[in-house]
């Protein structure tokens, strides 16, 4: 197993783009930004998924990126948004990309390249409405540059655009200032050149204000399933496209107050067990994520007790005496908020599985010990846990009832195929029920052996093979520890 694997869900990129497209006002196009190798997700894979999800254009930052994406998607309109050296410009134009322009010197260079290649260069005039980076901050000069581009026979005026600085900060009113500035400039340009495409919205602006959509939105982080407002992406219908996978390298017991991590940033509030994953800086896990990240095991968050496991103890008192058998079985579903009719249907189905449907209305004191354990098993199975934990559940039963319950549990397992972790001191019970037996030593508990039981089901406790497995397990239990 590799220490760390980053997996990309292209289907999530497709769904995110469909979600963004649905958010845009009618007529506005979606341009998927795939710069920096698709924000580290893989530009080719993500561009393909974005186009399938409703994007009609792509954008990158550099000439090198334009060459890569343009080669893969030659028929898709492409915009290179960043500053370009003459060499970068050549690479972008060779890929068929449109380019950004905000100074007259670069306009002249682009015009010369258009003349040399025999076809006009499509340009987008950039207005710096307040980001303070690339672009011309003077509205009059932006309009003059747009006129100069249109007048140049080797250029084609394709767009006018800007970049928001605080769209992802709801408390900032500077977004409104920038939006108003760009509305004025865009209206002036489009009044003279109505076919020009105005665009300003990034991912945050798409969700923040429909006025910012104009003719096109350039979305980056939301395409990859990140919430542009640093919240829960699921609340906006987005799904992260990247997941980082590793394995549990160790599990350690912590006493109250024990610490873990650089700077002792985490301390155990009580006695607990801690899983250690072999991930670090080299895998992209920043120290800033300390106590600020979520780990999933089996696709679910690790958060203590949960409905992913069912438990059956040996004590008959585990049932609620004031509830009927049906109500006991339905208890877990009730805690999950399942409607009454549905939880009673499921509970009755589980009672039928353990052959107690006729006793659904009976209270625990009306049931024998074996019947109470059947109800406990049905209750543990009712909310469909991934794992069933059973701690000597039949130890207090008489021999005949125990045999009957073992047969019943084997039948239930065949029906449900649940993973069962079963603790027992009965060697014959272990051979009868298990596919694999873990033999433990006494204090301190250590694994002595792991024995696979390769017997067909149902098993015959009197067969020679069955008795041989018993003898093997007893041998492991009784052997002396090495000195």
Q: Tell me: do 255 and 197 sit in the same domain.
A: no
Other CB atoms within a 10 A radius of the CB of residue 104 amount to: 14
Residue 380 in domain: no
Residues 6+ apart with CB under 8 A from 276: 248, 249, 250, 251, 252
Q: Tell me: do 164 and 224 sit in the same domain.
A: yes
134, HSE (Cβ side, Cα atoms, 13 Å):
18
Parent domain of 119: 5-242
Is the peptide bond prior to 442 cis by the omega test (within 30 degrees of 0)?
no
Domain end among 217, 242, 267:
242
Kindly list the distances between the CA atom of residue 430 and the CA atoms of 376, 395, 426, 434, 468, in Å, as whole numbers in the listed order.
20, 12, 6, 6, 13
Q: How many domains does the chain have?
A: 2
Residue 65 in domain: yes
The DSSP output letter for 432 is H
Residue 401 in domain: no
Domain end among 285, 313, 342:
285
pLDDT tens-digit readout, 192-249:
999 999 999 999 999 999 999 999 999 999 999 999 999 999 999 999 999 999 988 8
Q: For residue 1, count CB atoms less than 10 angstroms from its CB and return exposed for 0-12, middle for 13-18, buried for 19 or more.
A: exposed
Q: Tell me: do 177 and 253 sit in the same domain.
A: no
CA-CA distance, 132 to 435, in Å (whole number)? 67
Alpha helices in 417-463 (DSSP H): 427-433
Q: Tell me: do 226 and 258 sit in the same domain.
A: no
Count the helix, strand and coil residues of the chain and give each as a percent rounded to the nearest 5: 45, 20, 40
Residue 404 in domain: no
Q: Tell me: do 145 and 191 sit in the same domain.
A: yes
Residue 351 in domain: no
Q: Tell me: do 52 and 159 sit in the same domain.
A: yes
Q: Tell me: do 220 and 254 sit in the same domain.
A: no
Q: Tell me: do 172 and 267 sit in the same domain.
A: no
CA-CA distance, 136 to 145, in Å (whole number)? 10
Q: Tell me: do 167 and 38 sit in the same domain.
A: yes
The predicted pLDDT at position 1 comes to 63
CA-CA distance, 422 to 377, in Å (whole number)? 12
DSSP lists the bridge partners of residue 252 as 274
CA-CA distance, 341 to 347, in Å (whole number)? 10
pLDDT tens-digit readout, 105-144:
999 999 999 999 999 999 999 999 999 999 999 999 999 9
Q: Tell me: do 255 and 183 sit in the same domain.
A: no
Long-range contacts of 218-221 (CB under 8 A, 24+ apart): 218/31, 218/33, 218/59, 218/79, 218/81, 218/161, 219/17, 219/20, 219/30, 219/31, 219/32, 219/33, 220/33, 220/35, 220/39, 221/39
Q: Tell me: do 109 and 213 sit in the same domain.
A: yes
Per-residue pLDDT of the chain (483 residues; tens, 9 = 90+): 678 899 999 999 999 999 999 999 999 999 999 999 999 999 999 999 999 999 999 999 999 999 999 999 999 999 999 999 999 999 999 999 999 999 999 999 999 999 999 999 999 999 999 999 999 999 999 999 999 999 999 999 999 999 999 999 999 999 999 999 999 999 999 999 999 999 999 999 999 999 999 999 999 999 999 999 999 999 999 999 999 999 888 888 888 899 998 888 889 888 787 888 998 888 888 888 888 888 888 777 776 656 677 888 877 668 899 999 999 999 988 888 889 999 999 999 999 988 999 999 999 999 998 899 889 998 988 888 888 888 888 887 888 888 888 888 888 888 888 889 999 999 999 999 999 999 998 877 788 899 999 999 999 999 999 999 999 999 999 886 554
pTM tops 0.75, yes or no: no
Residue with tokens 């010369």: 112
Domain end among 254, 285, 316:
285
Other CB atoms within a 10 A radius of the CB of residue 346 amount to: 20
Residue 186 in domain: yes
The predicted pLDDT at position 307 comes to 67
Q: Tell me: do 278 and 233 sit in the same domain.
A: no
The predicted pLDDT at position 251 comes to 80
Say what angle helices 63-72 and 43-52 make with each other, to 10 degrees. Answer: 60
The predicted pLDDT at position 483 comes to 40
CA-CA distance, 399 to 294, in Å (whole number)? 47
CA-CA distance, 472 to 451, in Å (whole number)? 9
Q: Are 206 and 187 in contact (CB under 8 A)?
A: no
Residue 172's domain is classified under what CATH number?
3.20.20.10
């Amino acid at each position: 197993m590799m220490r760390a694997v980053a997996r990309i869900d292209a289907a999530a990129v497709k769904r995110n783009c469909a979600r963004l497209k649905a958010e845009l006002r009618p007529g506005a196009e979606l341009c998927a930004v795939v710069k920096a190798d698709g924000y580290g997700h893989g530009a080719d894979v993500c561009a393909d998924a974005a186009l399938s999800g409703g994007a009609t254009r792509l954008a990158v930052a550099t000439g090198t990126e334009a060459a890569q994406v343009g080669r893969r998607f030659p028929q898709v309109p492409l915009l290179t948004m960043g500053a370009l050296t003459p060499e970068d410009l050549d690479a972008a134009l060779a890929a068929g990309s449109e380019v950004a322009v905000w100074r007259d010197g670069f306009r002249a260079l682009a015009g010369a390249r258009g003349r040399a290649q025999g076809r006009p260069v499509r340009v987008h005039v950039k207005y710096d409405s307040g980001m303070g980076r690339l672009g011309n901050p003077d509205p009059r000069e932006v309009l003059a540059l747009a006129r100069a581009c249109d007048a140049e026979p080797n250029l084609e005026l394709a767009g006018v655009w800007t970049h928001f600085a605080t769209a992802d900060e709801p408390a900032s009113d500077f977004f409104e200032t920038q939006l108003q500035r760009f509305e004025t400039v865009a209206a002036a340009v489009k009044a003279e050149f109505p076919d020009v495409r105005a665009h300003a919205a990034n991912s945050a602006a798409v969700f923040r204000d429909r006025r910012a959509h104009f003719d096109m939105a350039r979305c980056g982080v939301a395409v990859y399933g990140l919430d542009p407002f640093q919240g829960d992406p699921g609340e906006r219908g987005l799904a992260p496209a990247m997941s980082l996978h590793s394995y549990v390298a160790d599990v350690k017991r912590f006493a109250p107050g024990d610490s873990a991590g650089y700077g002792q940033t985490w301390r155990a509030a009580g006695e607990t067990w801690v899983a250690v994953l072999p991930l670090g800086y080299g895998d992209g896990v920043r120290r800033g994520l300390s106590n600020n990240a979520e780990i999933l095991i089996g696709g679910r968050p690790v958060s203590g007790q949960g409905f992913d496991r069912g438990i059956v103890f040996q004590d008959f008192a585990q049932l609620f005496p004031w509830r009927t058998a049906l109500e006991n079985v339905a208890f877990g579903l009730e805690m999950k908020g399942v409607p009454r009719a549905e939880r009673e249907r499921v509970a009755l189905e589980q009672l039928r599985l353990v052959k107690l449907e006729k006793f659904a209305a009976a209270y625990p004191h009306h049931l024998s010990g074996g019947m109470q354990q059947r109800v406990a098993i049905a209750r543990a199975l009712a909310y469909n846990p991934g794992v069933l934990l059973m701690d000597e559940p039949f130890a207090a039963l008489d021999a005949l009832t125990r045999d009957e319950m073992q047969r019943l549990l084997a039948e239930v397992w065949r029906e449900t195929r649940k993973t069962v972790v079963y603790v027992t001191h009965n060697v014959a019970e272990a051979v009868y029920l298990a596919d694999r037996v873990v033999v433990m030593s006494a204090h301190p508990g250590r694994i002595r052996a792991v024995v696979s039981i390769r017997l067909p089901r149902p098993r015959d406790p009197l067969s020679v093979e069955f008795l041989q497995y018993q003898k093997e397990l007893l041998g492991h239990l009784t052997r002396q520890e090495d000195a």
